Amino acid sequence: MDKPLRIGLIGYGFAGRTFHAPVITAVPELKLNKIVQRKSQTARQRYPWVEVTDDVQELYDDDRIDLVVVATPSTDHYSFARDALRAGKHVVVEKPFTVTSREADELIALAREQGKVLSVYHNRRWDGDFRTVREIVSRGLLGTIVEADFCWESYRPGAGTNWRNSGAPGSGVFYDLGVHLLDQALTLFGTPSSIRADVRKIRKEARADDYFEVVLGYEDGPRVRLRSSPLVRRQGPRYTLHGTNGSFVKYGTDPQEQALIRGETPERPNWGTEPEELWGTIDTTVNGLRYTGRVETLPGSYPAYYRNVSDAIAGWKELEVKPVQARMAIRLIELGILSSSERRTLEVTP
């Protein structure tokens, strides 16, 4: 690609200013040209060369924009992505993809009709700890995986008042964080055959779900448990995997989010690297020899997501986060909510 892809960003709230704008500007193949920010123009302070507008139609009508990034609250993802595709733009949508699988199907069909690349920002595939887990599983270092637990725990006794706790369709922790863990399970193990979920509110002032526990069943495969709670003061492992040859346990969280919140950028040396005290531990047998000890965490790299999108648009590489994969995560959320309300295990259907 001779010239960088020109990017229009819709939304400069937490997701836009933390996870998208600084990551986009760290990728030489991309150029951030325009930001839609409706309540102020604070984006100019950090990106003085970028045009800031409060009218999203200006972005759609701008022939200079190649790729639109939708970083709005999840309740609005479908409409913004639909309009951007209709305007002839490639589109990246912040997770979760949509509120319903039907909306996801419509966007996938529209992107195909328009001949445009559509992807969902499942950046947690590029967390260092998950990259390490993926490598361990792909190399077969634990043998056949029989059990896996992914946990996203915190201690936040106050529920907050932002849109994530509004109770609107697409709000709540299952859509917000659960979709990350579902995407990671799908990436590692594929589509499950069954799902059983407990999705509920556990804080007194919560208006949307703030807790979930999900068990994914695989025929002749692992038992996968995904869990998130806001009332865990002493947090357990983030990842626990048990296989026929051994186990891997990893505490702590990827450092990229906190670095971005502090205003750091991915151009910083040693971006995404973890200190040794946070490396996971392995106890396994390979070729008759037992190995125990720490496994160095691979560096995390959110810019790798955007580099792949750029390469896919150029036709050089296959798209890593395909919309059909993101759609399956939404389908699992729908089935999980139904499973929780009916208190039963459900077969996973398209």
Give the tens place of pLDDT for each residue, 202-260.
999 999 999 999 999 999 999 999 999 999 999 999 999 999 999 999 999 999 999 99
- Taking CA atoms, 305 is separated from 126, 159, 189, 292, 323, in Å, by 7, 31, 20, 32, 14
Give start-end residues of each CATH 3.30.360.10 domain in the chain: 128-253+267-300+332-347
Q: Is the pLDDT of residue 33 over 80?
A: yes
- Give, rounded to a whole angstrom, the gap between the first and last alpha carbons of the chain: 37
- Cross-strand pairs, 332: none
Mean pLDDT over each residue of the chain, to the nearest integer: 97
Closest CA to 215 of 185, 253, 250: 185
Closest CA to 177 of 255, 95, 251, 236: 95
Is residue 252 within 8 A of residue 274, CB to CB? The reply is yes
Separation between Cα atoms, residue 115 and residue 83, nearest integer Å: 15
**What integer pLDDT is reported at residue 8 of this predicted model?**
98
pTM for the predicted model, two decimal places? 0.96
Q: Is the pLDDT of residue 1 over 70?
A: no
Q: Is the pLDDT of residue 39 over 90?
A: no
Q: Locate 232 and state its tokens.
A: 């865990």
**What integer pLDDT is reported at residue 161 of this predicted model?**
83
Give start-end residues of each CATH 3.40.50.720 domain in the chain: 5-123+304-317
DSSP H helix total and E strand total for the chain: 12, 15
Closest CA to 254 of 282, 278, 230: 278
Q: Can you tell me the mean pLDDT for 315-323?
A: 97
How much of the chain exceeds pLDDT 90, in percent?
95
Separation between Cα atoms, residue 89 and residue 158, nearest integer Å: 40
Q: Cis omega before residue 323 (within 30°)? A: no
DSSP assignment letter at 18: I
Q: Can you tell me the mean pLDDT for 260-271?
A: 97
**What integer pLDDT is reported at residue 163 of this predicted model?**
81
Degrees, nearest 5: CA angle 14-17-20: 105
**What integer pLDDT is reported at residue 177 of this predicted model?**
97
Separation between Cα atoms, residue 195 and residue 235, nearest integer Å: 25
Q: Can you tell me the mean pLDDT for 127-144?
A: 98
Query: Could you confirm whether domain 5-123+304-317 is CATH 3.60.20.10?
Result: no
Separation between Cα atoms, residue 287 and residue 12, nearest integer Å: 52
Q: Is the pLDDT of residue 73 over 70?
A: yes
Separation between Cα atoms, residue 69 and residue 346, nearest integer Å: 34
Secondary structure (DSSP) of 109-125: HHHHHHT--EEEE-GGG
Q: What radius of gyration do the chain's Cα atoms show?
A: 20
Q: Locate 94 and state its tokens.
A: 């912040």
**What integer pLDDT is reported at residue 97 of this predicted model?**
98
Q: How many residues does the chain have?
A: 350
Fold of 128-253+267-300+332-347: Dihydrodipicolinate Reductase; domain 2 (3.30.360)
Separation between Cα atoms, residue 334 and residue 246, nearest integer Å: 34
Q: Locate 73 and state its tokens.
A: 């609250």
Separation between Cα atoms, residue 132 and residue 47, nearest integer Å: 34
